[in-house]
Amino acid sequence: MTRHLLFLTGTRADFGKLEPLAVAARDAGHAVTFFVTGMHMLDRYGLTKIEVHRMPGVKVHEFLNQRPGDPQDVILAKTVMGFSDYITEHRPDLIVVHGDRIEALAGALVAATNYIPSAHVEGGEVSGTIDEVFRHCNTKLAAQHFVSSDQAARRVMALGEPGDSIHVIGSPELDFHMGPSGVTIDEVRAHYAIPFADYGIAVFHPVTSEAATMGAQAEGLFGALEASERNFVVIAPNNDPGSEAIFAVLDRLPKERFRVIPSMRFAHFSELMKNAACMVGNSSAGVREAPFLGLPSLDIGTRQTRRSDAPSIRTADAGDRVAILGFLSSEWGRPHPRHTAFGEGRAADRFVAVLADPAFWDRPLQKEFRDLV
C-alpha cells in the first residue's frame, strides 16, 4: 500500500542520514516529501536546500524558520507554527525526524499533538550536551524508533518505549559511504578549490551549553592545527549559539593551509573523507563515519561525549595542544580497520522492510510507559 512519508530536514547533516531512507521509500512506491527548513535556508551555511531539490521523484516544501541571531526557543516556536500549518493541509501518513536538532523536536511535537504517526531516526544515543535532551524528548514523542545499534535500542527501552516499536537498522549515512561516491578526489578538489592533496578534515561546531567559551576553544584547537604546519579542509560550523565566535577564528586562519568551506555535497564529502589523512573536531562524522571508513579521528571537547568507543578515535580538550599535536604526529595517514558497531551500510533496506509490515501501520498512537523487567 502506498503511503505518504514526510521527512523533516533542518541541516546538511540530518539530510545525509535521511536521504538514503527517503530514496528507498520512494523506490518502494511510497510518496515522499521533504519539509526543508533551518540551516538549509541560509546563504552563510551553503544554502543546502539546493541538495534536497536535486533528489528526483520527491516533493520539497521550503520554510524559513529563523533570522540570524534568533535564540533556539524562538526557532522552535517558529518551526512548530510553520510545520503545523503544513501538516494540517497535507496530512501525511508518517512524519520522519532525525536526531537531536531543534527542528526535529518541533516536528515530533507537532506530530504527537496532531495524532500523526512519527518515526524518530537515531534515538537512544548520548552526547553530553542539551542536544541529548532534545534527542530523548523526540524519543518520547515518537511512535516508532529506527536506531543505529543494539545499545541505542536498550536506551530507548530504558525511556519506557516498547520493544516492538524499536527497529535496529544502523546509521543510514553509512549506506552511502559503503559504496562509490560517484566522484573522484580530483573532481572534489577542483570543485571546491582545495589546493593540497595531503590534508586532514576539521569540523568544529558550537556546544550550546558552552556558548560563552566557544571562541576560546576554537582558538585553542585551530591554534594547534596551525602549529602542526599541516593542511586542513575546514567545514564551517552549524548555526547554534557560539558559532559567530568560531567563525571569527576561522576568518583569521592562513588561507594557504586552511581551506574553509561553508558546506559540501554529501557525495563530495564522502570522497573527501575517504582520501583524508585524519579528522579532527566535534562532528558526529568523526565518531560515526570516520571509524566506519577506517579514518583516524580526534574528538574534541564534550559534544560527542560517550557517543562511540571505536579504537580509531582519540579524545582531547580543545586547549590541550600537546594531545592534539601528538595525535597528528602518530595518526596522520594511518588507516584503521572498518568499525561496524553502527551498521554495515544496509539501513535503508531494513527501513523499507519495516514499512512493508502491516503491523507497523496498525500500532496505536496512545503510548504506555513500559517498565524494564
For the chain, give the mean pLDDT. 95
Task: Tell me the pLDDT tens digit for each residue of 41-50.
Answer: 999 888 999 9
**How is residue 88 written as a grid cell?**
494540517
**How is residue 163 written as a grid cell?**
520493544
With CA atoms as reference, report the closest residue to 155 among 170, 136, 142, 141: 136
**How is residue 206 written as a grid cell?**
558550537
pLDDT bucket at 54, cuts 50 / 70 / 90: very high
Mean pLDDT for 65-84 is: 94
Q: For the chain, give the secondary structure using H, E and C.
A: CCCEEEEEECCHHHHHHHHHHHHHHHHCCCEEEEEECHHHHCHHHCCCHHHHHCCCCCEEEECCCCCCCCCHHHHHHHHHHHHHHHHHHHCCCEEEEECCCHHHHHHHHHHHHCCCCEEEECCCCCCCCHHHHHHHHHHHHCCEEEECCHHHHHHHHHCCCCHHHEEECCCCHHHHHHCCCCCCHHHHHHHCCCCCCCCEEEECCCCHHHHHHHHHHHHHHHHHHHHCCCCEEEECCCCCCCHHHHHHHHCCCCCCCEEEECCCCHHHHHHHHHCCCCEEECCHHHHCHHHHHCCCEEEECCCCCCCCCCCCEEEECCCCHHHHHHHHHHHCCCCCCCCCCCCCCCHHHHHHHHHCCHHHHHCCCCCCCCCCC
Contact predicate 214/245, CB 8 Å: yes
> Which residue do the cell numbers 539546493 mark?
50
Give me the pLDDT at residue 239, please: 85
- Segment among 101-110, 166-175, 303-312 with least mean pLDDT: 303-312
Q: Where are the domains of the chain?
A: 4-170+346-362, 179-331
The predicted model scores a pTM of: 0.88
Task: Tell me the pLDDT tens digit for each residue of 131-187.
Answer: 889 999 999 999 999 999 999 999 999 999 999 999 999 999 999 899 899 999 999
Contact predicate 23/44, CB 8 Å: no
With CA atoms as reference, report the closest residue to 215 among 190, 247, 175: 247
Which residues are CB-neighbours of 143 under 8 A, at least 6 positions away?
111, 117, 118, 119, 165, 363, 365, 367
Q: What CATH homologous superfamily does 179-331 map to?
A: Glycogen Phosphorylase B; (3.40.50.2000)
With CA atoms as reference, report the closest residue to 14 among 144, 131, 137, 172: 172
Task: Tell me the pLDDT tens digit for each residue of 250-280.
Answer: 999 999 999 999 999 999 999 999 999 999 9
Sign of dihedral through CA atoms 295, 298, 299, 300?
A: negative
Mean pLDDT for 326-344 is: 95
**How is residue 282 written as a grid cell?**
566535534
Q: Which residues pair with 144 in a beta bridge?
A: 119
- CATH code 3.40.50.2000 for 4-170+346-362: yes
- Whether the predicted pLDDT of 71 surpasses 80: yes
Give me the pLDDT at residue 212, please: 92
Contact predicate 147/168, CB 8 Å: yes
User: What phi-psi label fits residue 33: left (phi over 0), alpha (psi between -120 and 50 degrees) or beta?
Assistant: beta
- Whether the predicted pLDDT of 308 surpasses 90: no
pLDDT bucket at 120, cuts 50 / 70 / 90: very high
pLDDT bucket at 286, cuts 50 / 70 / 90: very high
Could you give the percent of the chain with pLDDT greater than 70?
100
Give me the pLDDT at residue 187, please: 98
The Cα–Cα gap between 62 and 35 comes to: 6
